[in-house]
Amino acid sequence: GQNIDQPTEMTATEGAIVQINCTYQTSGFNGLFWYQQHAGEAPTFLSYNVLDGLEEKGRFSSFLSRSKGYSYLLLKELQMKDSASYLCAAMDSNYQLIWGAGTKLIIKP
Amino acid sequence: IAGITQAPTSQILAAGRRMTLRCTQDMRHNAMYWYRQDLGLGLRLIHYSNTAGTTGKGEVPDGYSVSRANTDDFPLTLASAVPSQTSVYFCASSDSVGSNEQFFGPGTRLTVL
């Protein structure tokens, strides 16, 4: 079957760095996505990886290892506004997104 | 309109009633999607449309139907609502199937009693 695993909740301190891990199993693979979702709002796109390695975009970076079925999202210089859920999703061979349940990130002052 | 809109924002519905959730985008995207989001579960795809005039079933299509008469609109209909359809429903669109970004509407919170 198809499955995405990520931690349910994480806590970090303002100004620190946090890494959110995601493992995936899909029928075929056409990329790994990270979305941010604030409470009561719609998901918004953060990053897309299809090749192995690290993609950096400002304070956020995303890493992919296709051989390990593994990705992580790295958030640096954490701000209170980064408190949100982070959704990992893998695109399968039918170009449909398979979503994880999301990781709720709590930022403490 | 800017982006993708959904209506209504929220709705309380009696079981057995028919309900249509509306979704409109002005980005001229070819692909559109309907997801439901439930606590503790990931977004689950209900139906999708790769282009106007075509639709397909996602992971959880039972009890739902869609149509795609034109590029902009993608309504989702619950023919006879049941309490298990209580959820937050998100419509999304992308330039094409397999695009590296889906844009989401603000969601519709539906409660079926």
Distance from the B9 Cα atom to the nearest Cα atom in chain A, whole angstroms: 11
- In 3D, which of A30, A68, A26 has the Cα closest to residue A49? A30
Digit-coded pLDDT (tens) for A70-84? 999 999 999 999 999
Pairing outcome for strands A53-57 and A103-108: unpaired
Phi, psi torsion values for A33, nearest 5 degrees: -120, 150
Of B44, B97, B106, the CB nearest to A42: B106
- In 3D, which of B3, B20, B23, B19 has the Cα closest to residue B107? B23
Asked if residue A91 has pLDDT above 60, the reply is yes
Of B40, B45, B106, the CB nearest to A96: B45
- Predicted confidence at residue B67, as pLDDT, reads 97
Average pLDDT, chain A: 96
Distance from the A45 Cα atom to the nearest Cα atom in chain B, whole angstroms: 6
Closest residue in B to A41 (Cα–Cα): B106
A51 in contact with chain B, both atoms CB, cutoff 8 A: no
- In 3D, which of B34, B30, B37 has the Cα closest to residue B53? B30
Residue tagged 């029928």 (tokens): A27
Distance from the B46 Cα atom to the nearest Cα atom in chain A, whole angstroms: 11
Query: In chain A, pLDDT over 90 holds for what percent of residues?
Result: 96
Whether the CA torsion B11, B50, A2, B104 is positive or negative: it is: negative
Closest residue in B to A87 (Cα–Cα): B42
Q: Encode chain A in three state secondary structure.
A: CCEEECCCEEEEECCCCEEEEEEEECCCCCCEEEEEECCCCCCEEEEEECCCEEEEECCEEEEEECCCCEEEEEECCCCHHHCEEEEEEEECCCCCEEECCCEEEEEEC
- Predicted confidence at residue B1, as pLDDT, reads 53
B11 DSSP assignment: E
Query: In chain B, pLDDT over 90 holds for what percent of residues?
Result: 90
Low-confidence stretches of chain B (pLDDT < 70) are: 1
Question: Cβ–Cβ of B107/A42 closer than 8 Å?
Answer: yes
Instruction: Tell me the chain B residues in contact with residue A38 when contact means C-beta distances shorter than 8 Å.
Output: none
Digit-coded pLDDT (tens) for A33-51? 999 999 999 999 999 999 9
